[in-house]
Amino acid sequence: MADNLVCFFDDAFVPMSEAKVGVMTHAFNYGTGCFEGIRAYWTAESEQLYVFRLNDHLRRFEHSRQVLMIDLPYSIERLSEICIELLRRNQFKTDVYVRPLAYKSSELIGVRLHNLTDAFTMFSVPFGDYVETKGGLSVGVSSWRRIDDNAAPARAKLTGIYVNSALAKTEAALNGFDESIMLTDDGHVSEGSAENIFLVLGGRLVTPPPTDNILMGITRDTIITIAKTELGIETVERSIDRSELYGADEIFVCGTGAQVLPVVKVDHRPIGSGEVGPTTQALVKSYMDIVHGNVDTYRSWLTPVYQ
């Protein structure tokens, strides 16, 4: 599939099969890269591909590369143009995942960020559901703690720190769960392996604050906004103890890849009725309507690809 696709590599659009890095590349050896995950949604009725909150993702990408001291010759506006041109060249008529990636490309041995060459690439692939499940997720609290911001920047999407997520995700799978929930070092709920988490408690949404080592998700921000404007539901950002998970009325996780996924069991305990709850159902519907361009109020979040 990738052989038929075009990507952006070394300041040019090239076949994916020609975009290669050497085995000594610094980012490959030391995890000195950063990335974004961006979704674009195909709407057959209008024959249009909509990129969701593109500039918000690119601003977060800029923050991540600043953390890693990566300098690129591209403004956010230029990166946006590259993204749209990339999707047009691939002529997608399906939902798509886009990944910009900035990295240290020097081929040498030595742990550092300074005095290294920076590089950039962007690729896109057809992409459906991140987690395939019917009727909601069964999740387990991981024995692996979420990376602490003073150990590695939790609010940046750095390639190297995703080994933390990989350990938690595989532990969950081996233990028979669909996903994991990671705690902070002091035992507060942080996030899933690649998703933010929300609890429905007493008619409000409750979600961990930025200080509990979460990634500041674009989808998280979207949910907070549409919960208030579409459903009249307020969101409280506060630390959440593990045992609060078991007593929640509803739980769901969200992220660009995951979108909005209901959680019906935590540590083998049913959440609420053990079925997908009404608040989660309403948020899933609103979210999917918005990203497919069916709600005029949020058109500013969408960047159309085809003219």
Q: What is the spatial distance between Cα 277 and Cα 146, in angstroms, rounded to a whole number? A: 27
Nearest to 92 by CA among 31, 29, 122, 47: 47
Q: Which of 157, 169, 265, 285 is catalytic?
A: 157
What sign does the dihedral 265-268-271-275 (CA atoms) show? positive
Q: Counting beta carbons within 10 angstroms of the beta carbon of residue 25, is it exposed (0 to 12), middle (13 to 18) or buried (19 or more)?
A: buried
Q: What is the spatial distance between Cα 70 and Cα 62, in angstroms, rounded to a whole number? A: 9
134 part of the active site: no
Nearest to 135 by CA among 284, 294, 289: 284
Chain center to CA of 100? 13
- Strand intervals (E) in the chain: 6-9, 12-15, 33-35, 38-43, 48-52, 96-104, 118-126, 137-141, 179-183, 189-192, 196-201, 204-207, 235-237, 250-255, 259-266, 269-270, 302-304
The Cβ of residue 222 has, within 10 Å, a number of other Cβ atoms equal to: 23
Q: What residues act catalytically?
A: 157
